[in-house]
């Protein structure tokens, strides 16, 4: 019996990528399937079947570590398009149960099911019908959390996996979560935990009892969120897909097959990443102002560096020019590089920006901002358009920047 309102449901597909692979190839059923990285590669585990989890394999772990823990594991390269297609089919199914469906990620969705009782009876009955349809039409299982807010629903769905259902009101949240360590909250990582523990805040209950202004003072905006999360008072709205706020950033990163020791290859790889990010931005109609890079050395130490430009852009050459300056010179010389990433944030939709022409500006050789009105830059814009139209017609791999050819 659900006694709260609104009634928010979080659906989390169980080991989604691995489950799709097992559905496609039933011979993999019951085996430790590990998706991501691929055989002999150095990537990262995207997800794995529950059989692989028994060996300690987890999402985000390096493939090498997963191989060590589970040598008999079946490593499969990520088939992202297949997962995206399955995800789109799932979103269609979810849309039959509520008009308000917010895709939360490729394998998660949030539904506002307030007021659906007349159609389905209780929320529990709705969940049973939805799970049955997902199982029968897609051959997949999901875990569901029902709560009065998005955040609590997300926490609830993780409590009874796989193929589970958990209903959690605010009193139950306090009862279950207050005694738990702070990192039981979704979004609290190792460094935040350390920082909280250092201040004598160990449990979710301790965090909830801490003055929100103090948390804001220590952690900034995320301090406010910590306070809201720990008290279970999140009241953020469930957005339909078409009403969702714009993406806040776009990024691309790659773990290289062999550690990079050559600055030329670092340059080629950053150019390749900038091209991928810029292309996605143009496809989505975005321009962005803050360009950042992520560099991981062979000893796994990771740095991120960011720089904001005066006017937003969607051009590869501008993103690359700033991104490469952000990569410290000693990488590729003194330190070998394992992973590189490029991100553009502070995104805006082009139509929201007004005078788009203002966006095509960049730093000149003297480090000053200038308007992009000269011929050379107009040419770059035309070239970008031409490359886009070739890729639109013949695919992403049909034409590429010569400077990326050294990228491994």
Partner 1 sequence: MYQEMDEPIEVVVLFQSNRMKPSRFRWNGRVYHISEVTGDWKTDVGAYRVRHFAVVDDSSNFFQLSYDERKTSWVISKIWVE
Paired residues of 335 in beta bridges:
331
Distance, CA of 203 to chain centre = 27
Confirm or reject binding of residue 385 to partner 1 (CB under 8 A): no
- The closest of 170, 156, 149, 184 to 11, measured between CA atoms, is 156
Strands 337-349 and 249-260: antiparallel
Residue appearing with tokens 């330190």: 335
Question: Dihedral, CA atoms, 380, 385, 388, 390, nearest 10 degrees?
Answer: -100
Is residue 265 a contact partner of residue 280, using CB atoms and an 8 Å limit?
no
Confirm or reject binding of residue 76 to partner 1 (CB under 8 A): yes
Residue from 198, 366, 393, 402 in contact with partner 1 (CB under 8 A):
393
Residue 406 to residue 263: CA distance in whole angstroms: 11
Confirm or reject binding of residue 71 to partner 1 (CB under 8 A): no
Is residue 22 a contact partner of residue 57, using CB atoms and an 8 Å limit?
no
177's tokens: 């979560």
CB of 21 to partner 1, least distance (A): 9
Paired residues of 66 in beta bridges:
none
The active-site residue, picked from 21, 51, 102, 108, is 108
Residue numbers 86-145 binding partner 1 by CB under 8 A = 86, 139
The piece of 79-87, 95-103, 332-340, 365-373 that touches partner 1 (CB under 8 A) is 79-87
CB of 27 to partner 1, least distance (A): 6
The piece of 108-116, 322-330, 335-343, 392-400 that touches partner 1 (CB under 8 A) is 392-400
378's tokens: 């107009």
φ, ψ of residue 22 to 5 degrees: the values are -70, -35
CB of 390 to partner 1, least distance (A): 8
In terms of CB distance, is 373 or 390 closer to partner 1? 390
Give the 3-state secondary structure of residue 325: helix
In terms of CB distance, is 235 or 396 closer to partner 1? 396
Residue from 346, 391, 401, 406 in contact with partner 1 (CB under 8 A):
391
Kindly write out the interface string for residues 1-40 of this chain, putting x where it contacts partner 1 by CB under 8 A and - elsewhere.
Answer: -------------------x--xxxxx-----------x-
In terms of CB distance, is 74 or 196 closer to partner 1? 74
253 is catalytic: no
Distance, CA of 266 to chain centre = 24
In terms of CB distance, is 81 or 368 closer to partner 1? 81
Annotated active-site positions, please?
108
Residues that bind partner 1 (CB under 8 A): 20, 23-27, 39, 74, 76-77, 81-82, 84-86, 139, 390-396, 398
């Amino acid at each position: 019996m659900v006694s709260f309102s609104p009634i928010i449901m979080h659906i989390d597909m169980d080991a989604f990528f691995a489950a799709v692979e097992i559905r496609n190839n039933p011979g993999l059923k019951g085996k430790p399937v590990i998706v991501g990285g691929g055989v002999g590669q150095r990537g990262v585990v995207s997800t794995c079947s529950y059989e692989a989890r028994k060996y300690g394999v987890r999402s985000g772990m390096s493939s090498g570590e997963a191989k060590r823990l589970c040598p008999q594991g079946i490593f499969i390269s990520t088939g992202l398009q297949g997962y995206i297609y399955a995800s789109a089919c799932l979103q269609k199914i979810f849309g039959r149960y509520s008009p308000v469906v917010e895709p939360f990620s490729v394998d998660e969705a949030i539904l506002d099911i307030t007021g659906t009782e007349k159609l389905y009876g209780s929320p529990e009955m709705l969940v049973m019908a939805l799970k049955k349809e997902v199982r029968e039409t897609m051959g997949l299982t999901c875990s569901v959390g029902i709560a009065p807010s998005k955040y609590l629903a997300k926490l609830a769905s993780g409590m009874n996996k796989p193929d589970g259902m958990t209903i959690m009101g605010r009193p139950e949240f306090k009862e279950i979560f207050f005694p738990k360590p702070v990192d039981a909250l979704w979004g609290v990582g190792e460094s935040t935990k350390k920082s909280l523990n250092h201040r004598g805040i160990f449990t979710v209950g301790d965090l909830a009892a801490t003055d929100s202004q103090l948390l804001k003072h220590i952690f900034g905006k995320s301090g406010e969120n910590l306070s809201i999360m720990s008290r279970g008072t999140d009241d953020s709205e469930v957005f339909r897909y078409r009403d969702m706020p714009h993406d806040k950033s776009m990024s691309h990163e790659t773990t290289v097959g062999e550690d990079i020791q050559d600055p030329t290859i670092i340059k080629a790889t950053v150019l390749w990443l900038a091209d991928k990010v810029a292309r996605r931005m143009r496809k989505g109609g975005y321009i962005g102002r803050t360009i950042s890079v992520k560099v991981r050395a062979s000893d796994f130490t990771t740095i991120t560096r960011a720089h904001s430009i005066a006017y937003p852009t969607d051009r590869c050459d501008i993103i690359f020019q700033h991104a490469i300056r952000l990569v410290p010179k000693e990488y590729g010389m003194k330190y070998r590089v394992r992973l590189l990433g490029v991100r553009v944030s502070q995104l805006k939709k082009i139509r929201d920006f007004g005078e788009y022409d203002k966006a095509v500006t960049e730093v000149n050789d003297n480090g000053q901002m200038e308007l992009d009105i000269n011929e050379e830059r107009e040419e770059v814009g035309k070239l970008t358009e031409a490359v886009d139209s070739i890729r639109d017609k013949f695919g992403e791999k049909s034409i590429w920047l010569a400077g990326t050819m050294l990228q491994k």
